[in-house]
């Protein structure tokens, strides 16, 4: 059976070479496709050194990029991964072996963190549980039959969780399996590291707040959890930061504090703080890290105070 590997990429010049080289080192020959999202660095040029085809689509969402790759792929089996992943030899053959059973339509694989710490290891462990028990596979390491994909709804038109939606929908057409030993190495960004702990801690705060009657804790926990849930169902195309909106609304609540009943004020203020914290962690910090990665590629770093601060952060975060 022919296998195609589809990889979306954006400003991954520093990592994509290692990723593509690891795919080419596999013990199974594959068609290799990269969908570039309009990188400002040399990502497309590096990709062309390894790939059979490279598409540059600046205005595409991640779901649209993965969909294009799936439809353009000529393989019976489509494997997806990310540009910052590095695969050990034998990864693809292990991942696609379950397709020898014609009833299997999708397979998910595990992860091992490059940036090893307690949070990154916990994320990989929780990811394995979610994939193994719920069958919600991740686009950074999954495979599926193309004919089943074309029958399905494809990738959901969402900002996040297009991979979860696809793997969930593919269950209508056959069996799905999770193969933990078909792992790839990947860097777990900070916003991902705190995803599962954030939900667990927020749920605990809701419970504690309800037990002791602290409405601000209940509001904070619910605001954080509902914000994360909303990102899976609402596609956000605007450049307006949602953390800024939450901060503005929180300021207005404090301005009109005296006109609100105390219970309402505590709950609303706590909820908006939870919304702000979620988007600050999941979006603002992620964008800042992406900017630092781009800054690192400059041939002549700035000598200004801000430039020196960026260089210090790059060294500190080992970007």
Per-residue pLDDT of the chain (319 residues; tens, 9 = 90+): 899 999 999 989 888 999 999 999 999 999 999 999 999 889 999 999 999 999 999 989 889 999 999 999 999 999 999 999 999 999 999 999 999 999 999 999 999 998 888 989 999 999 999 899 999 999 999 999 999 999 998 887 655 678 888 999 999 999 999 999 999 999 888 778 888 888 899 999 999 999 999 999 999 999 999 988 777 655 555 556 888 899 999 999 999 998 999 999 999 999 999 999 998 988 888 777 777 766 666 656 667 777 777 776 766 656 6
Q: What pLDDT shows up at residue 233?
A: 59
Domain boundary among 162, 188, 214: 188
Domain boundary among 188, 208, 225: 188
Per the DSSP assignment, residues forming a β-bridge with 7 are 34
**Residues 128, 252 within the same domain:** no
Q: What pLDDT shows up at residue 176?
A: 96
**Residues 26, 166 within the same domain:** yes
- Name the residue range of residue 289's domain: 193-317
**Residues 139, 201 within the same domain:** no
**Residues 227, 146 within the same domain:** no
Give me the phi and psi of 102, to 5 degrees please: -65, -15
Q: What pLDDT shows up at residue 273?
A: 95
Q: CB 172: neighbour CB atoms within 10 A?
A: 11
Q: Are the C-beta atoms of residues 279 and 231 closer than 8 Å to each other?
A: no
**Residues 245, 225 within the same domain:** yes
Q: Are the C-beta atoms of residues 176 and 144 closer than 8 Å to each other?
A: no
Q: What pLDDT shows up at residue 242?
A: 84
Long-range pairs, 94-102, Cβ under 8 A, ≥24:
94/179, 94/181, 94/182, 95/141, 95/143, 95/179, 95/182, 96/1, 96/3, 96/28, 96/143, 97/179, 98/177, 98/179, 99/1, 99/143, 99/145, 101/175
| C-alpha angle 266-268-274 in degrees, rounded to nearest 5 | 100
Q: Residue 38: which of 71, 63, 81, 8 has the closest Cα?
A: 8
Distance CA 247, CA 169 (A): 37
**Residues 105, 179 within the same domain:** yes
Q: What pLDDT shows up at residue 311?
A: 73
**Residues 243, 128 within the same domain:** no
Q: CB 257: neighbour CB atoms within 10 A?
A: 12
**Residues 289, 248 within the same domain:** yes
Q: Are the C-beta atoms of residues 166 and 149 closer than 8 Å to each other?
A: yes
Q: Residue 278: which of 231, 313, 209 has the closest Cα?
A: 231
**Residues 160, 209 within the same domain:** no
């Amino acid at each position: 059976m022919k296998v195609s590997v589809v990889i979306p990429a954006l400003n991954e010049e520093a990592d994509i070479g290692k990723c593509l080289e690891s795919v080419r080192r596999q013990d199974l020959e594959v068609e290799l496709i990269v969908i570039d999202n309009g990188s400002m660095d040399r990502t497309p040029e590096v990709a062309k050194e390894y790939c059979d085809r490279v598409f540059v689509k600046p205005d595409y969402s991640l779901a649209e990029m993965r969909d294009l790759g799936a439809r353009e792929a000529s393989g019976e089996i489509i494997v997806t991964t990310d540009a910052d992943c590095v695969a050990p030899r034998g990864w693809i053959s292990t991942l696609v072996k379950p397709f020898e059973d014609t009833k299997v339509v999708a397979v998910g694989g595990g992860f091992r963190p490059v940036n090893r710490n307690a949070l990154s290891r916990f994320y990989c462990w929780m990811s394995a549980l979610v994939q193994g028990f719920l069958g919600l596979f991740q686009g950074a390491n999954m495979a599926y039959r193309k004919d089943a994909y074309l029958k399905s709804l494809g990738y959901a038109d969402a900002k996040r969780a297009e991979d979860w939606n696809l793997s969930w929908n593919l269950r209508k057409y056959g069996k799905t399996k999770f193969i933990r030993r078909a792992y790839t190495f990947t860097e777990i960004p900070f916003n991902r590291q705190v995803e599962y702990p954030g939900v667990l801690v927020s749920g605990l705060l809701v419970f504690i707040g309800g037990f002791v009657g602290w409405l601000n804790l209940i509001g904070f926990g619910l605001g954080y959890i509902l914000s994360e849930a909303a990102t899976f169902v609402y596609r956000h195309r605007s450049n307006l930061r949602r953390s800024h909106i939450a901060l503005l609304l929180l300021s207005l609540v404090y301005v009109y504090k005296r006109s609100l009943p105390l219970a309402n004020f505590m709950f609303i203020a706590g909820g908006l703080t939870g919304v702000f914290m979620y988007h600050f962690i999941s979006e603002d910090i992620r964008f800042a890290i992406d900017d630092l990665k781009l800054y690192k590629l400059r041939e002549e770093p700035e000598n200004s105070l801000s430039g020196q601060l960026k260089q210090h952060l790059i060294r500190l975060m080992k970007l």
